[in-house]
Each structure stands twice: as structure tokens, then as C-alpha cells.
Structure 1
Amino acid sequence: MYPCKLSISGTWSKLIKSCKRFKVGGTSAPQMIRGIVGNGMDIKFWIDPWVSNTPLKVLFPNLFRLERNKWCSVADRLGGLYGNGPVSWSWRVYPSSPEQVADLISCHRMILGQCLVNRADTWAWYDSGPLDFSVNIAKHWAVSARVGSIIPSINFNWCKWIPLKCNVFMWRLLLDRIPTKVALRSRNIIHGEVSCGFCMLEKENVDHMFTACGMAAGLWQGIASWVKLPPIFLFSVKDIVEVVEGSRWSKNKKELLYGILIVACWRLWKARNERVFAQKNRNAVELVADIKSLSYLWLCSTGRFGGVDWKGWKSFVFDVM
């Protein structure tokens, strides 16, 4: 199918190897291309994909080993067929074992009804049916892999009263796209120790740092005490946004709690960076105090909740509709 000997280095060889390595749902780009039989002169019977997206040599390796001319064309085998005649096989040894006979029957059934016509063979991009190939079609196929696997689907609502940087951070956190030590090592950016920047006991990934680490546990209990919620126990970063739904508060008060939780995650990550890069140690009490003051400053800057003053915010006792 491809005029290239892959064992020889060169631009075309590298291009074909790259195409075979890139897969969407386990299917490589070359497997999306299928021959559309015309006169059968240009499509190889065993080598090229034409009956399905997989060549017959892969589907029936027992028969392919017995074939005398492995580079035969479709016309060589179906030349006398035209829907009615027999297949012109050319075996070195006729199939005789039970496996070979079963493969021969299956192969016959697969090519049954394939007819040669008076036009040249063509090639098509085969995605739920033959399509004329274009760069745009291949691009959409390739992008579907990135959207479906590299950027998984999450349900994240942006909070309107906190800064954009906090929303972006929370979105990346839920996608596991922040540079924890485990994430950096998986990308071969760092090597060696990947223990948590706070406790130094477990591997530093998002679930440990924001839910299981002692610093995170202390922070969430401090937040729960401040906003007068039952103790908060988390097992995954996705549980953080579920805390809001678990409260029986008004819509506006839930929005305030939602923003506080996002600011808390952002401040915890900032404290981690201060410890790792500047050797500044903070405790959970200091982080809660910072979250109170920062969140109140950002809340006042929006002017959305005018009935909240600093005294009420510190004790989380106020009236919001």
C-alpha cells in the first residue's frame, strides 16, 4: 500500500512510522484508508486493506503463508469473478488443516459479492463509510483523540466573584494538569524523589496534596469550622466541589462557599510553592487567615454582596438573599 521500505531511513519512512504510531481508539491513520475496488489492477489482494480496514494477510495469516504470489492484485484473484466465477487461487500447498480450511471458508464469505468494474481503483478515508480524503477530515479524526483522551470531560462551573487565576487553577486541578512532582516525572521533566512538598511521606499527586496530606486535612477542617459546616472529609479533588451541593444553604450563600473552596485550593498550592522554592513554612491556621482576608477583598471588589461586612465575614454570619 505504501511505496516505502520501512527498514530504510528517510523522510517518507519516518512519516509512515509516525502515522502508524498515532492512534485514535486503537486505530492508526493508515487503518482508516481503504481501497475501493474498480478493475482491481492497483490494489493488492493480500497486502492492502480493501474488504475491511485490515488487510487479508492479517486476518488470514495461515492462508497468506500458503500463497504463491504474495503481491498479487485483486484482479489476479478475482479476474474471472465478476460476481459469479470462482476465485483464482494460487497456492504453494492447498489448504488442508482444519484451521486453514476454516480460514478459507471465512475468506470466501468476506469477498463474496466483490465485483470488478471498468474503472480504476481508488482510495478512500473509511470512517463509518467511504469518504473522499481531505486534510480537514483527517484533522477532525486526530482532534477527536485529543478532545476525548487528553482533555477529559469535567463538570466545572466558574465562580464569578473570584479572580480568573483562581478559576483557571481549579479547572486545571480537576483535570490533573498542575505541575505536581508526579506529573512532572511522568513527563520526564524531573527525576528522583517525588514526595509531597508538605508531609514528605507520600507521592505528590493532586489527590494526596489536596485531600489526604496533613496540611490539606488541617486546612479543610479550619474552613469547615469557619463557615460552620460539619467536618470535611475528602478522598478526591472532585469531592471538593461536591461540598457545596451537600450544604443546605441559599443559592447566593452556596456561591460564596464555592468561591471560598476554590480560593482555598489556590492558596494551598501557593503555600506549597513557597515551601519548595522559597523555604517558607506556613501552617493551616495561617492559610485559613489568608483565605479569609483574600476572599473578602475579592468579594468587596465585585460589589455583588453588599450586605457582607468584615466582622460578619470573619465569623461567617451575615444575610445574603
Structure 2
Amino acid sequence: MPTTINGPRVNIWKSHSMLIYNVKIHTISISDDICVDRWIGTSDDTMFWLDRWTGGNTLKTSFPEMYKLERHKHCKISDRLNDGRCNWNWKEIPTTTEQLQELHMLTNGVNTFQPVAQSDRWVCNLSSDGVFHVNVLRTQIDWRNRMPGEVLIKWTHEVLLKINCFIWRAKLHRLPTARALTRRGIQLMSVLCPYCELEEEDTTHVLFRCPLASKVWEYVGHWCNIPHLQFQNAEEMVKYVTQWGTCSKKRKTLTSICYGTAWSIWKARCDWIFKKQRTMPPRLADSVKSIVFTWIKHRRDRCNISWIEWCVSPFTIM
């Protein structure tokens, strides 16, 4: 809906769509592939001067002298064009050579416009229905930035956004582990894992190689009836849950379980470092069951899952 914010009316989605026209992601320009244009119907919802509806620029940009003379800057197309005639409303009559030249070009450019008995709308060539969708644009960006052999993270609605971001950071080895902090110049008393003190603490060790993490993954694998649910790193985990099984609903469930397990292990590590609270693997595995059950129960559409059945096996009720 159009919104007023201490000034003229601003259509938030319209402004957002205009930004897509010249957007660049890192060094990859997607403006050659994506076009968001204004499709004109009755012309009642499109501004004559300020919207880009004819040509590559707005009429304000193409005819600045005429825009200065315009009395109502936010007028609609239907206010200025009616039955093939131009209904101008100038502050003063154009007199200079430049003004008369712009007026002639402007009149010739818009005189051929004919309204259609449909509502004005934005049209995007990314989607088959012509409607701009953020998720479609996100998919295009991911594929354009994808390196050969790279595994894309499946952003699941059932998983909280902060957990999705956590998995993304883990895949990139960007978690604030002891090794990562040391590389950034932060002095620590020890770079060993605070839980086992056997290896340097990095993302892979904390989430997968530490005895605590290995035991938790073993418990979770037994609960899911998936033997040897162990991973070498976060990228391998993401690849596994993306390709596992043939049922999409079960695949989403396993994705939530694995993401929740990694998050719970990291949270237990932080609790030990900052609160000196040590959580045993069986209790941590039970915590994974509870957390993921809450996600799926309240974030999945038409979910009739029961806690007792969930504790027995997360897949027998799918």
C-alpha cells in the first residue's frame, strides 16, 4: 500500500522494483538479464513525470525544462493524456527555444499512447507470471554466483533465520572459534577446544570432530534410524541433507534436525565457555528433539505431529 512518511506518497514496492533495474551483485551485473517495467493499462495509477513508463528514463529526466513548468509534479498519466489529446497544466507558457523544442518532442512521444481497460502494474521478466518475486531473484543470484562444485545451502522456512545464518557461517568457516579469533589478532590463553582439549578449536572440530559432537551426532543418527550420521565438515552436512532421500517432506525434516543439532552443539560450547555449564551428550540430543519439534510443529503448514510419535522416530509419521 502507498505510505506517507513526512512527505510525498511513496510506494515502497514500486521503489524497490526500480532499484532492481540497475542492481549489481559483487562484480556480477544482473541488469542485463532482469527488466522491471511499468505496464500501463488505464493509466490511473502511474505518475506521468516520475514513473518510468515510456522509454528508458522518466519524463522528468528526459524533459527537465517541461518538468520545471509543470504545476502538479505528481500528476497521473490520465491527468495529462485523454482521448489522444495532451492536457498540460503549466505554471507559465513555454517561450524559450529549449522549452518549445522539449514540448514538441514530448508531445510527439506521448501522443500515440492509448489506454487499456486493465489496471496498471509492474512486469518482471524473471517470472513466468510477470510478477516480481524476491525468492526468484534470490535463486538467480545464487546460480550466478555459484562456483563449480559448490553446494548451495537450503534455506528452510521451518528453521529459524538465525539458525540458517549460523549454518551459512559454519559452511564458510566464519564462526568465532579460538583459531579464527587468534587469526584476527585476539590473544587467548589457549586455542585448544575448551571441551576436550585435544585439538585446536575450529569450526569443523567444534561441530563434528569433538568427542562431545561425535556422541551427539551418534545419538541423533540412532533416533533418526540413519547409521553413521557423521560429517567431516559443514559443507558435507549441507550436501548430505540436500540430496538425502526421495521424500521432500522427510528431507526438510532431516535438514531441520541436522541444522538444529549443529546449533545445539555450538550453544553447548558457548554455555561451557561463558557460563561454565557442561551439558552431557544424551541431554543435548534430547534438546535437539525438543527444539526441532517446536520448529516443525509451529512453522510447518498443516502439521499434526505428536510429541510421543516424534520421540520414537521423526520420519514414521511423515
TM-score (ref. length: structure 2)? 0.50
Q: CA deviation at 1:241?
A: 1.8
Match of 1:212 among 209, 228, 249: 209
Distance 2:190 2:259 in 1: 28
Q: Considering only aligned residues, what root-mean-square deviation do their CA atoms show, in Å?
A: 2.1
Q: CA deviation at 1:245?
A: 4.7
Q: Is 1:163 matched up with 2:156?
A: no
Distance 2:246 2:261 in 1: 20
In structure 2, the CA distance between the partners of 1:296 and 1:308, relative to structure 1 (3 Å rule), is: same
What residue identity is the alignment partner of 2:217? W
Match of 1:265 among 244, 262, 266: 262
Q: Is 1:189 matched up with 2:197?
A: no
What residue identity is the alignment partner of 1:179? P
Check whether the contact 1:305–1:320 (CA below 8 A) recurs between aligned residues.
Answer: no
Q: Write the deviation string for residues 254-304 of structure 1: whole angstroms up to 9, x where unpaired.
A: 100001100111111110000011110011111110111111112111142
Match of 2:282 among 282, 285, 291: 285
Check whether the contact 1:307–1:319 (CA below 8 A) recurs between aligned residues.
Answer: no
Alignment match, 2:307: 310
1:67-82 → structure 2 map (5 Å cutoff): none
Alignment match, 2:200: 203
Distance 2:304 2:247 in 1: 15
Q: CA deviation at 1:305?
A: 5.0
Check whether the contact 1:195–1:204 (CA below 8 A) recurs between aligned residues.
Answer: yes
Name structure 1 gaps, 5 residues minimum. Answer: 1-146
Identity score, percent: 27
Match of 1:232 among 223, 229, 233: 229
Q: Is 1:274 matched up with 2:271?
A: yes
Q: CA deviation at 1:320?
A: 5.8
Alignment match, 2:293: 296
Match of 2:245 among 243, 248, 255: 248
Name structure 2 gaps, 5 residues minimum. Answer: 1-144
Check whether the contact 2:179–2:191 (CA below 8 A) recurs between aligned residues.
Answer: yes
Distance 2:167 2:268 in 1: 15
Distance 1:209 1:259 in 2: 19
Distance 1:233 1:305 in 2: 31
Distance 1:249 1:155 in 2: 18
Q: Write the deviation string for residues 171-195 of structure 1: whole angstroms up to 9, x where unpaired.
A: 1111111100000000012234100
1:17-36 → structure 2 map (5 Å cutoff): none
Check whether the contact 2:167–2:234 (CA below 8 A) recurs between aligned residues.
Answer: no
What residue identity is the alignment partner of 1:296? F
Q: Which has the larger radius of gyration?
A: 1
In structure 2, the CA distance between the partners of 1:249 and 1:220, relative to structure 1 (3 Å rule), is: farther
Distance 1:306 1:182 in 2: 42
In structure 2, the CA distance between the partners of 1:219 and 1:304, relative to structure 1 (3 Å rule), is: same
TM-score (ref. length: structure 1)? 0.50
In structure 2, the CA distance between the partners of 1:157 and 1:261, relative to structure 1 (3 Å rule), is: same
What residue identity is the alignment partner of 1:286? R
Check whether the contact 2:171–2:235 (CA below 8 A) recurs between aligned residues.
Answer: yes
Q: Write the deviation string for residues 124-182 of structure 1: whole angstroms up to 9, x where unpaired.
A: xxxxxxxxxxxxxxxxxxxxxxx99xxxx751111110211111111111111110000
1:51-90 → structure 2 map (5 Å cutoff): none
Distance 2:244 2:269 in 1: 29
Q: CA deviation at 1:307?
A: 3.0
Alignment match, 1:133: none
Q: CA deviation at 1:247?
A: 3.6
Structure 1 stretches of 4+ moved >4 Å: 317-321
Q: CA deviation at 1:317?
A: 5.1
What residue identity is the alignment partner of 1:191? L
What residue identity is the alignment partner of 1:290? S
